[in-house]
Chain A
Amino acid sequence: MSDQLPDLGSLLLRRVTGEDGAPYLLLTGNCTLAVLEQRLQALSAELAGYAADPRLHWDLTGIEQMDDAGAVLLWRAWGARRPQHLLLRPEQERLFNRLGKTPPLPAPPARDLLWPVTKLGGAVFLLWEHLIGIVILAGQLLLDMKYLAAHPARIPWREISANLFRTGAQALGITALVGFLIGVVLSYLSSKQLQMFGADIFIINILGMSIIRELGPMLAAILVAGRSGSSMTAQLGVMRVTEELDALTVMGIPHSLRLVLPKVIGLGIAMPLVVLWTSAIALLGGMVVAELQLGLSYHFFLHKLPDAVPLANLWLGLGKGVVCGMIIALIACHFGLRIKSDTESLGAGTTNSVVTAITVVIIIDAIFAVIFSDVGIK
């Protein structure tokens, strides 16, 4: 009848016949999660077996310690009600009283049958919200600039220069590396093709046009969108989480003036410089390979470059840089300010910011290509 159990101190069940002739189940030992952990499944089945007998008297007074998990184990075995005959100590009485009064878990809200429609509609509205939000932020920046024009002493020089350093100077390494490698690859592949036609000399046109007009600005913009855009969004997001944004508001320092404007202007200045740098290094990479593969000397390459590429292309590249830089910063700040104070939203906000910034950069490039289709091309 009794169960010999492995370790001392664990819960022991002993069925005996009491003086009044009724069957008793004596529980002794510890009924805590830490002690029962490995035996829970077996024990739960065993207890359920005992609970099937309504005449059984449960005597829990011999239990040394019982915690919530132990109580729930018994409670479940009894079928969520007390057995007819139950002996308890006062503190156990309290525990089971609490269990009896515990409400069930409310059902999670049922999913609407129309959820695909709601979801799609939600996405459309969200897109609209973002568009409006970015336009409002841009408008606010314009108003801020007007204000700063009237109060030049309030221009946040320090923040602008800090942003210039972080987004410009500190991005030189990575843009140089990527630019150089792209230049090398492009030059290598093109020179192979050109050699077949004996058109070696056109390597200068191909590299010059593609890098200065397209690749340089796009590479720089995409790298900066990933690098600086994410850091701006995360910075503003963490400031929301730590209530720093609220502190600024309460001090009467507008976010747009002190946080957003310096970033937009800083990146607007830094970006064309980074574009120039990336294009130069990419051309350098291309030039090195042209020398090795086709035997075009550096001097010849540099001498021929201005003839092959009209100057307008350089301005076009730099112009893309300015626009992309400001848009990247604007998008990053827009998403950063929308972040709510939980970690989930921080992660999602940063991802959305970078994805949007990169997409928009490419869209801007396409717009430039259409508008300036007959500029700088001979």
Chain B
Amino acid sequence: MMANTDCIIEVEGLHSRFGNHVVHEDINLCVHRGEVLALVGSSGSGKTVLLRQMLGLETPAQGVVRVFGQPVHGADRNELQGMRNRCGILFQKGALFSALSVFDNIALPMRELRTLDERMIRDLVMLKLKMVEIDAEHANKMPAELSGGMIKRIALARAMALDPELLFLDEPTSGLDPVLSEGFVKLIQALRSELTLTIVMATHDLDTLAALADRVAVLAEQRLLALGSLGEVISTSHPFISKFFLGERGKKTLGNNGYIV
């Protein structure tokens, strides 16, 4: 692990609710520079909501979210743009722009910078496509012509377009076949060896979790139930955690990865 453990994302006293439905109650969380933090919880436990609040897509009812030391809500336009350029986001369904070709989708954030020339953008885009193992022949296709798994990988290439320091992944391996999931995990590991990459991911996939996560944050019952390495989290005794990690499937997966014997 990286030695410096300053917070790249800070969540303080976060409350969120939709109408009368309370999603989070007093959540405090710090994401360290260079780590992979996995947000875990049952469906509807507010993982995606928390992720969206970190991205500034939703405003919490109460509390502050700071990214790179700046509050996400209430930062001015330039600061926010600077922050956004240092973040990459992989949405659950890819969220590729359907009006743009694969190439233009990945080139968009690079062109928005206005400092890169077109030849460099061309090389960079092809490199990103190569990175996610998409053949060059697909570069001129439109998103509507692609399969779900390809959309996901191209969306990852777009999220990585500006070589972000901070990467948000919402269900990164859902919709990928096992081979691609494996490749995805390898890819993230390789990227981390080359760059100081901080990753926040919401996932259900225990394999991905065991392979990538340095720390796991368990969201349930509107609060942060446990936070720590996978081993520490598993040893927390709570009905949700035992059901989630130590159920039939959990045991198999975690057993294979050497977490439980």
B194 in contact with A66 (CB, 8 Å): yes
Q: Which of A76-95 contact B (CB under 8 A)?
A: 76, 91-92, 94-95
Interface size on A, residues (CB 8 A): 38
Closest A residue to B129 by CB, please name it.
Answer: A102
Task: Indicate whether A99 reaches chain B with its CB closer than 8 angstroms.
Answer: yes
Contact status B190-A94, CB under 8 Å: yes
Chain A residues with Cβ under 8 A from B127's Cβ? Answer: 68, 71-72, 98-99, 102
Pairs A–B under 8 Å by Cβ, sample size 27:
A32-B163, A33-B163, A40-B115, A65-B196, A66-B194, A67-B163, A67-B195, A68-B124, A69-B163, A71-B127, A72-B127, A75-B123, A76-B123, A91-B193, A91-B194, A95-B194, A98-B131, A102-B123, A102-B127, A104-B136, A105-B122, A105-B136, A109-B140, A340-B144, A342-B98, A342-B142, A343-B97
Contact check, B130 vs A65: say whether CB atoms are below 8 A apart: no
Closest to B143 in A: A342
Q: Which 8 A-B pairs rank lowest in CB-CB distance, beginning with the nearest? A: A342-B98, A67-B163, A103-B136, A342-B144, A344-B99, A91-B194, A72-B123, A102-B126
Q: Which positions in A face B, CB cutoff 8 Å?
A: 32-34, 37-38, 40-41, 44, 65-69, 71-73, 75-76, 91-92, 94-95, 98-99, 101-106, 108-109, 340-345
* Given A75-B123, A343-B99, also A106-B130 (CB < 8 A): no
Whether B260 sits at the interface, judged by CB under 8 Å, is no
With an 8 A cutoff between CB atoms, is B212 at the interface? no
Residues of A with C-beta under 8 A to B140: 106, 108-109
How many chain B residues touch A (Cβ–Cβ < 8 Å)? 38
Docked complex Cα distance between A76 and B122 (Å): 11
A32 partner residues in chain B, CB cutoff 8 A:
163, 195
User: When the two chains form their complex, are residues B116 and A40 in contact, meaning their CB atoms are under 8 A apart?
Assistant: yes
A33-B162, A72-B127 known, 15 other contacts, Cβ within 8 Å: A32-B195, A34-B85, A40-B116, A41-B115, A65-B194, A67-B163, A72-B120, A73-B120, A91-B193, A92-B194, A94-B190, A103-B135, A105-B103, A106-B136, A108-B140
Inside 8 A of A103's CB, which chain B residues have their CB?
126, 130, 135-136
**Residues in chain A near residue B196, CB distance under 8 A:** 65
Query: Which of chain B's residues have a CB closer than 8 A to the CB of A344?
Result: 98-99
Contacts of A95 in B (CB 8 A): 194
Instruction: Give Cα distance in the complex from A302 to B202, angstroms.
Output: 71
Tell me whether A65 and B126 are in contact (CB under 8 A): no
Cα-based distance from A259 to B176 in the complex (angstroms): 34
Q: Determine if A101 and B130 form an interchain contact, defined as CB atoms under 8 angstroms apart.
A: yes
Interface contact A105-B126, CB-CB below 8 Å = yes
Residues 66-120 (chain B) with a chain A CB within 8 angstroms = 85-86, 97-99, 103, 113, 115-117, 119-120
Task: Check B220 for interface membership: any CB of A closer than 8 A.
Answer: no
Q: Which partner residue on chain B sits nearest A91 by CB separation?
A: B194
> Using Cβ atoms and an 8 Å threshold, which residues of chain B touch A92?
194
Q: Which of A40, A102, A104 has the most CB of B within 10 A?
A: A102
Instruction: Determine whether B152 belongs to the interface, using a CB cutoff of 8 Å to chain A.
Output: no
Judge if B128 is at the interface, Cβ distance under 8 Å: yes
A-side contacts of B177, CB under 8 Å: none
Q: Complex: how many Å from CA A23 to CA B158?
A: 39
Q: Does B125 lie at the interface of the complex (its beta carbon under 8 Å from any beta carbon of A)?
A: yes
Q: Is the CB of B194 within 8 A of A69?
A: no
Q: A72-B124, A75-B123, A98-B127 are in contact. Are A34 and B99 (CB under 8 A)?
A: no
| B142, closest chain A residue (CB) | A342
